Structure 1
């Protein structure tokens, strides 16, 4: 029976381009506690970044603790060593001056916060940025389409993720 299984497995690899399921993070993503994270060197508006993460079956990152925020900041420092970085979008925004910030995947406000001194600014339609130069503190930024930052996506690691194998039998990595 084991020989038949091995033959079937070899046959599937010979076909190439098939998908399997894995309980781990998608290829190229980093696992931390119960989530997987990916940072992309593309600059996008907050709305485009949110859509981009959704296309990866994830959402913009939302730090829920100082430990998670520190992990993300270390990823930024590591990933963007040679790139001028103005931070990356966090999945939280405010629609009006009097409204609260709303975060991806949450029904209530922020919970954990790490605002840089002087933030959040009291303006309408503000999105949130985790900054490299502020040691991982948060700032507000205009959500306008011409305001672009890097993208960081998050997905729970407890779920199953589809991983595609190329013709050579190696898993395809969607990160640069």
Structure 2
């Protein structure tokens, strides 16, 4: 069924009927009340403006919404204020913790520097102790070697840390030194009066008992060197010796029947090609 459109003739007729019906009803009610006087009742005509109630309701709703909105804003402001206050306190706590951590780091850095310096000092002291230990171990070993009983091969005689051999045969100075080298030694090297006296006492007295020992000036006349390459200092020469009388470049020791010739004045020089007995020296064997 089609609905009448607003403003059409059909719609206007329907609206006029409703108005007339309402007017008849009002008049009937007035006639039925006892003692009622004639009352003029104004009936709005068609097309009049509607009442103000809907606008009041809308205004109330709008005010309520504004109140709710303001309350919400107040709540949000309070919330964010508390939130900002909490963030501020947290930031303050974090700042304090950062300062404390920074102080701890600085203190630890100082401690690390102190420990590094202490470690360096201990390492240097350790190095010094190790050096002292090595020296002490070397000294102990030396003392142990000295404490061991000294033995020499057969026909060799000990004195201090060496063994000595006095030959009964004769060779040139060079051949004599070669013989000593084959036995692990060399012609005797004499540094002290005690050693010189010890060797001289091993010799037999005779008319001219001569024995090669390890000294010569073959390289340069007058510069006497031991067979180990060290230069002679001092010596136990006879008065007037060495004199290089006939190209005499090798040293020998003499023990005669004359008791007036002492051990400390018994060295002479002679040609190295002469044949004499010899005295060998070798380190002690243990």
TM over 0.5: yes
Are the counterparts in 2 of residues 65 and 112 from structure 1 also a CA contact under 8 Å? no
Structure 1 Cα separation of the partners of residues 150 and 157 of structure 2: 13
Compare CA radii of gyration and give the structure with the larger one: 2
Matched, 1:95 2:222: no
Map of 1:130 onto structure 2: 253
Structure 2 Cα separation of the partners of residues 30 and 122 of structure 1: 32
How far apart are residue 96 of structure 1 and its match?
5.1
Map of 2:237 onto structure 1: 115
- The structure in which a higher percent of residues are helix is 2
SS at match of 1:42: coil
- The structure in which a higher percent of residues are strand is 1
TM-score, structure 2 as length reference: 0.42
Matched, 1:140 2:263: no
Aligned length: 131
**CA 1:98–1:87: 2 relative to 1, 3 Å:** closer
TM-score, structure 1 as length reference: 0.67
**CA 1:130–1:37: 2 relative to 1, 3 Å:** same
Structure 1 Cα separation of the partners of residues 150 and 183 of structure 2: 16
Are the counterparts in 2 of residues 89 and 151 from structure 1 also a CA contact under 8 Å? yes
Greater RCO (Cα-Cα under 8 Å, separation 6 or more): 1
Structure 2, unpaired ranges of 5+: 1-148
Structure 1 Cα separation of the partners of residues 279 and 218 of structure 2: 21
Structure 1 Cα separation of the partners of residues 208 and 200 of structure 2: 12
**CA 1:112–1:33: 2 relative to 1, 3 Å:** farther
Structure 1, unpaired ranges of 5+: 1-21, 161-176
Are the counterparts in 1 of residues 187 and 278 from structure 2 also a CA contact under 8 Å? yes
Structure 2 Cα separation of the partners of residues 62 and 43 of structure 1: 19
**CA 1:49–1:121: 2 relative to 1, 3 Å:** same
The Cα offsets for residues 108-127 of structure 1, whole Å up to 9 and x where unpaired, read as 31124000001011364510
For the aligned residue pairs, the C-alpha RMSD in angstroms reads 2.2
**CA 1:43–1:102: 2 relative to 1, 3 Å:** same
Map of 1:154 onto structure 2: 281
